[in-house]
Amino acid sequence: MGGGPSGSSREPNLKSTLLGPDIPSAWLLQGEIMKFSYGLPAELLVTKHKSGARSRRGCRRFATAAEAIRFVVEDFPAISTLGAWMQVGNERFDVTDIHRLYESDDYPLRRRTR
């Protein structure tokens, strides 16, 4: 059970090789432009602030980030007052980021008319 080379080789992550280790998995390189991956699974985490400390309040999983974004913006806009964020792959997005992704021309779902 030593630290020898047998069995310890790991294939490099193609994205890390091309883009470097700091590129979040929520982003894809298309040509020379980074694009958000709306089709990846996402978790929405909600916290409540109590006396300066954050306590985890709940977690909801979505099949796609696009669905999580729509939920935050269209179905539950008051979530921004609770301290929520979305986790997609290794990347976290706060409510401001979520609204930017919703307003993006790349957002794949039909938006409700207001």
Pairing status of strand 53-62 against strand 91-94: unpaired
113 token code pair: 């008319």
**Count of the separate structural domains present in the chain:** 1
Q: Does residue 87 surpass a pLDDT of 70?
A: yes
In a domain, 33, yes or no: no
- pLDDT tens per residue, range 66-83: 999 999 999 887 776 677
77: in domain: yes
The rounded mean pLDDT for the chain is 74
| pLDDT tens, position by position, 13-68 | 444 434 444 444 565 555 666 688 899 999 998 876 554 455 556 889 999 999 99
Rounded distance between C-alpha atoms, residue 84 and residue 86, angstroms? 7
pTM of the full structure: 0.66
Indicate the burial class of 73 (C-beta count within 10 angstroms; 0-12, 13-18, 19 or more).
buried
Domain that holds residue 102: 39-114
